[in-house]
Every structure is written in C-alpha cells, then in structure tokens.
C-alpha cells in the first residue's frame, strides 16, 4: 500500500512541476535546478529528524 501511495504522489508532483515549468517566466532549466536543490534539501532534512 505504501508503494502505491508513493507512486501516486510522485506522479502528481511531477505533473504539477511540469505545469509550473511551462508557465514560469525564466528558462525551465533554472527552475528545474532550483526545484532539484529544494527537493534534495527537504529529503536530507527530513531524514535527520
């Protein structure tokens, strides 16, 4: 059940990010790098708690 939830959230998140990248003003490469850094930061900080 946890795997299905993880896959569902992953697909929803990737869809939202794709829509955001299509409408944000600057080139999507910069936004992609920023979102990747934020995601890694959240992942690392959640593991330490």
Write out 14-38 in H/E/C secondary structure.
Answer: HHHHHHHHHHCCCCHHHHHHHHHHH
CA distance 8 to 12: 6
Q: Where are the domains of the chain?
A: 2-48
Per-residue pLDDT, 1: 60
As a whole number of angstroms, the distance between CA 39 and CA 14 comes to: 12
pLDDT in tens, the chain (49 residues): 666 777 778 888 888 888 877 777 777 778 778 878 887 887 778 765 5
Q: Quick one: pLDDT at residue 35? A: 78
């Amino acid at each position: 059940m946890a795997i299905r939830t993880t896959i569902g959230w992953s697909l929803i998140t990737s869809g939202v990010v794709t829509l955001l990248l299509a409408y944000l003003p600057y080139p999507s490469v910069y936004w992609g790098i920023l979102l990747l850094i934020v995601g890694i930061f959240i992942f690392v900080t959640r593991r330490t708690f």
